[in-house]
Amino acid sequence: MTLMVVGLSHRTAALEVLERASLDPAAAASTVSAVTACPHVEEAFVLSTCNRVEVYAEVTRFHGGVAAVGEALSRRIGLPLDELGDQLYVHYEDAGVEHLFRVACGLDSMAVGEAQILGQLRSALRELHASGRGGGALDRLLQTALRVGKRAHSETSLDAAGASLVDAAIARAEAVLGPVAGRSALVVGAGAMSALAATTLARAGMGVVVANRTPERAERLAAAVGGRAAGLDALRAEVAAADVVVSCTGAVGHVLDVAVVASALLDRPHRPLLLADLALPRDVDPDVATLPGAHLVDLEGLGADLAGTAVADDLRAVRTIVTEEVAAYAASLRVADVAPTVVALRAQARHVVDTEMRRLAGRVELDDATRAEVDRAVHRIVEKLLHTPTVRVKELAEEPGGAGYAAALRALFDLEVVGGAAGAPRAGGAPLSGSVAEAVGRTP
């Protein structure tokens, strides 16, 4: 068996698709039941947040697992799989482990570094246990991901990364506009990153307007920062009235295109406009930067502004943590896969010793003390002979490709291994990532 994750997030899917894909606990349990009904899927869990829906599964067949998860999500969302396929991504083996660890650390969130995802992981772990599927490979993976996420937040100041991006945007605005206190800001979106932006802008003394496709969410966020709510249908007028626009909606496609911004600029001649695009994928058409009076900065530009700062150091440190933890997890799986081979080798040795001791007892009359001493001596000899190869094969198994040494032991000693280690693919093979549409053409 091996790990596979199929999902969609703010990086790949349209907002309306994400909303339709949102799973409450009952729907998540139903999705898991549908997925595990497939003969190629051994166990699964769902990670569902406002920005992502992902199904993690231990599978015996790659294509069968992809098809089962894809069809379950297709039914849930109400879109044919061939239409949904390009919005779904697939990660396999090490790439799946790395993806989950990045998610746990907040590196894949709209608000970089947010820690709320750890709560979602805990919920997924509780659901896994409640369903009676705890104790397996996915249980271990979730617990490791939780530890990795906690390590990232305890060893770095990653929690401040999102706020630092907004601070960098304000610094850009001050370079263009001068002091921002008393000026107006438009925040497009009402998610976690938008809430962080609205709060930071309000603290800087700016009047905040929140525009969102869902009026209730815009009103809640605006009320929290003492601002005003607006609908996306009034976007052009709100852009025209603002000095700073910060956009982070999670939509696929440009929320602010050249036509909207160019039209808004006509109503504010000689007044520069700073637009900060904090979204992935981008909310603001990059061509907006060519418009006179428009000053556009995106995540790449803000990241460059933060280069050399503590935030950049923290991001690098977290990426290093993820890389280390993925390697350690893969090594632990390889060692675990070797364990049944070592157990089988030692069991075979005990069987040979016991057989020979019984044969000896039938041919030579020994008193109990002598028989016990001979038995201990033979067992010590066997233990010493096996000690170095069994310890060494575990050490070698920690390295990529180390499973070959266990395979050699099984071949040399003609071992029958009970368990999933004998040749089963594990994390540590060629990692695969991409969309469902691409994945169906692969043969891992």
- Regarding beta strands 184-188 and 244-247, do their DSSP bridges make them parallel or antiparallel, or are they unpaired? parallel
The larger pLDDT score, comparing residue 70 to residue 280, is at 70
Nearest to 9 by CA among 279, 359, 277, 242: 279
The larger pLDDT score, comparing residue 423 to residue 347, is at 347
The larger pLDDT score, comparing residue 20 to residue 370, is at 370
The tens digit of pLDDT for each residue in 201-213 reads 999 999 999 999 8
Before 281, cis peptide (omega within 30)? yes
Calculate mean pLDDT across residues 102-117: 80
Contact between residue 165 and residue 247 where contact means Cβ atoms under 8 Å apart: no
Specify the pLDDT at position 90.
Answer: 93
Across the strands, what pairs with 246?
Answer: 187, 276
User: In terms of CATH, what superfamily is 2-156+430-439?
Assistant: Glutamyl-tRNA reductase, N-terminal domain (3.30.460.30)
Helix (H) or strand (E) segment spanning residue 21: helix 15-21
Q: What is the mean pLDDT of the chain?
A: 85
The tens digit of pLDDT for each residue in 79-101 reads 888 888 788 999 988 999 999 99
Contacts of 181 (CB under 8 A, 6+ apart): 204, 205, 206
- For the annotated catalytic residues, the residue numbers are 50
Task: Write out the DSSP string of 201-250.
Answer: HHHTT-EEEEEESSHHHHHHHHHHTT-EEEEGGGHHHHHHH-SEEEE---
Please report, rounded to a whole number, the percentage of residues in the chain having pLDDT higher than 70: 91
As given in the structure block, the two tokens for residue 50 are 């406002």
Specify the pLDDT at position 108.
Answer: 83
Hey, what amino acid is at 169? A
Contact between residue 71 and residue 63 where contact means Cβ atoms under 8 Å apart: no
In the structure, what pLDDT confidence band is assigned to residue 138 with cuts at 50, 70 and 90? very high
The SS3 call for residue 255 is coil
Calculate mean pLDDT across residues 371-380: 89
Calculate mean pLDDT across residues 341-360: 86
* Distance between CA atoms of residues 297 and 335, nearest Å: 47
* Distance between CA atoms of residues 290 and 296, nearest Å: 9
Calculate mean pLDDT across residues 94-121: 85
Task: Write out the DSSP string of 369-417.
Answer: HHHHHHHHHHHHHHHHHHHHHHHHHHHHHTSTTTHHHHHHHHHHHT---
Please report, rounded to a whole number, the percentage of residues in the chain having pLDDT higher than 90: 38
Task: Write out the DSSP string of 35-101.
Answer: HHTSTTEEEEEEEE-SSEEEEEEEES-HHHHHHHHHHHHHHHHTS-HHHHGGG-EEEETHHHHHHHH
As given in the structure block, the two tokens for residue 345 are 């080798």
Domain 161-307 of CATH type 3.40.50.720: yes
Tokens 């000690």 found at: 387
As given in the structure block, the two tokens for residue 437 are 């549409």
As given in the structure block, the two tokens for residue 28 are 């998540």
Contact between residue 177 and residue 243 where contact means Cβ atoms under 8 Å apart: yes
The SS3 call for residue 131 is coil
The SS3 call for residue 140 is helix
Predicted confidence (pLDDT) at residue 406 exceeds the cutoff of 80: no
Contact between residue 2 and residue 93 where contact means Cβ atoms under 8 Å apart: yes
* Distance between CA atoms of residues 437 and 74, nearest Å: 13
* Distance between CA atoms of residues 19 and 28, nearest Å: 14
In the structure, what pLDDT confidence band is assigned to residue 429 with cuts at 50, 70 and 90? very low
**Of the listed ranges 104-108, 205-209, 347-351, 414-418, the one predicted with least confidence:** 414-418
The SS3 call for residue 307 is coil
Contact between residue 190 and residue 220 where contact means Cβ atoms under 8 Å apart: yes
As given in the structure block, the two tokens for residue 297 are 């900065």
The domain ranges of the chain are: 2-156+430-439, 161-307, 335-413
